[in-house]
Amino acid sequence: MTKIKFGTSGWRAIIGEDFTFANVRIVVQAIADYVKKHKAKNAKPKTVIVGGDARFLSDEFAKEAAKVLSANGIRVFLCDRDTPTPTISYHILAKKCAGGINFTASHNPPEYNGIKFSPETGGPAQPDVTEQIEKAVAKLQKKKKPLVFKADEKLITVFDPRHSYLKQLEKVVDFGTIRRAKLKVAIDCLYGTSRDYLDYILKKQGYKPTVLHDYINPYFDGRRPEPAPENIEELVSIVKNKRFNLGLAADGDGDRFGIIDSDGTYITPNEIIALLLYHLLRTRKRPGRIIARSLATSHMVDLIARAHGIEIVETPVGFKYFVDLINGGDCIIAGEESGGLSISGHLPEKDGILACLLITEMVAKEKKSIKSILKQIYKKYGRLYSDRINLELTDEKKQALMKKVKSPIVKIAGLKIVRKDTRDGYKFYLQDGSWILFRPSGTEPVVRIYFESYSKKTLSALRSFAQKLI
């Protein structure tokens, strides 16, 4: 029997092994049970939006989910094509739905698919919600009988979710500045859901972007649909060799971003979050009083926030921990080093399309390269250096490593530990402001080690410490 567990952002599994139609029906039935029992605030009872990304069978899984929900008397808004995760989030709120089911494995390899449930808040479900769904799944699995449903087609409405979401972007992005700048931009859709979204909206501003991989390929050319440097080499080459101002990319479900500067340099998500906080503070009136970031995200935003008297909220990894902060309307920016970001006045969900557009706006406004703007930030606020190690480990080796981390440690790289955070892995804060985090992934057989310091020398010492433990 497949153990179905919701990780950082839903349940993910390999298609045809654990991610099967039979298991999908069980999970969707468990979600239907939750929706029927839960009294959603300010939402229409028994109404759910269903969509998915461009992965193999996502469209068929979405149709099957719509049938299961309708058989439970739940009204369904079914997206008419593969849809970005932030677009589904927008429609949960706009249509006042009790929730949304999204078939996506985000940036995972092509053999994976997944189910992500978002309640009426429009953001990823909180742990208490996913725990209820997991328990309901376990009960249904114990019956050991295939679920049979009689769909009510009258309750299923197929719709185009694109245009109203793009209208929402007009409320938070300064398209006038983008339009006037007439930048040279290249876009990599990575065979994902951002096609006809990111490229469409820039064309609407009079741009003629060079667009790569803007068609469906469920195998993503044999790579992860993740806008990391190793996956967007063609984009980097075009920007560098053809002297473009910017290269923009979004992952398979459009919720993460990848940014290339005019000289072909990949700008890390940690740097992008700091850049956009700097930009928003300079261009928006009263944008909010707090910034939110995950434990794994650079403290560079903290340097900017403190200089402006802005409160810093540090959360476990997972955008679900930002939902209430963003919906509260006082969060200037919420970001994760993995490439997730949103802002006040927008959605309580990662939005890679938004991030790409805000960076375009920033470059258009400043009339400078991204690296030039970063230099301004470092000169004004100081600089931190960040790095990360990804370890693919068996469960046994995972546990062995984390056991070493849990053992009494007084110093790391010759620096005293001043504080420890165990909410999501083990994060050690050191006496000079440096830190190191050991975090097992919630969705993959991976342990990630993050570290940051004010000096390259200390950063190197932190890496050496981590490698010795491995």
DSSP annotation string for 414-427 = TEEEEEEE-SSSEE
Q: Which fold has domain 386-469?
A: TATA-Binding Protein (3.30.310)
Torsion of CA 387, 392, 397, 398, to 10 degrees: 60
How far are the Cα atoms of 45, 114, 311 from residue 84, in angstroms, in the given order?
A: 24, 14, 31
Lookup: tokens for 302: 């903290």
User: Could you report the per-residue pLDDT of 45-92, keeping only the tens digit for each?
Assistant: 799 999 999 999 999 999 999 999 999 999 999 999 999 999 999 999
Q: Which fold has domain 183-265?
A: Alpha-D-Glucose-1,6-Bisphosphate; Chain A, domain 3 (3.40.120)
Neighbours of 42 (CB within 10 A): 8
CATH class entry, domain 268-383: alpha beta
Q: What is the mean pLDDT of residues 221-234?
A: 95
Report the pLDDT value the prediction gives residue 7, as an integer from 0 to 100. 81
In the three-class reduction of DSSP (H, G, I as helix; E, B as strand; rest coil), residue 302 is classed as helix
How far is 70 from 36, CA to CA, in rounded Å? 12
Q: Which fold has domain 11-161?
A: Alpha-D-Glucose-1,6-Bisphosphate; Chain A, domain 3 (3.40.120)
Give φ, ψ of 224 to 5 degrees.
-70, 140
How far is 256 from 383, CA to CA, in rounded Å? 24
pTM comes to: 0.95
Report the pLDDT value the prediction gives residue 443, as an integer from 0 to 100. 59
Report the pLDDT value the prediction gives residue 322, as an integer from 0 to 100. 97
User: Could you report the per-residue pLDDT of 276-303, keeping only the tens digit for each?
Assistant: 999 999 999 887 899 999 999 999 999 9
Answer with the residue of higher pLDDT: 401 or 313: 313
Q: Which of 113-122, 138-147, 328-337, 422-431 has the lowest mean pLDDT?
A: 138-147
Going across the sheet that includes 266-267, the strands are 210-212, 185-188, 246-250, 257-260, 266-267
> Is the confidence at residue 8, as pLDDT, over 90?
no
Give φ, ψ of 258 to 5 degrees.
-140, 130
Domain ranges of the chain: 11-161, 183-265, 268-383, 386-469
The residue assigned the tokens 């376990």 is 138
> Is the confidence at residue 425, as pLDDT, over 70?
yes
pLDDT band at 408 (very low <50, low <70, confident <90, very high): confident
- Are 183-265 and 268-383 the same fold in CATH? yes
Quick one: what percent of the chain has pLDDT higher than 70? 99
β-strands 185-188, 246-250 pairing: parallel
pLDDT band at 442 (very low <50, low <70, confident <90, very high): low
User: What average pLDDT is seen over the chain?
Assistant: 95
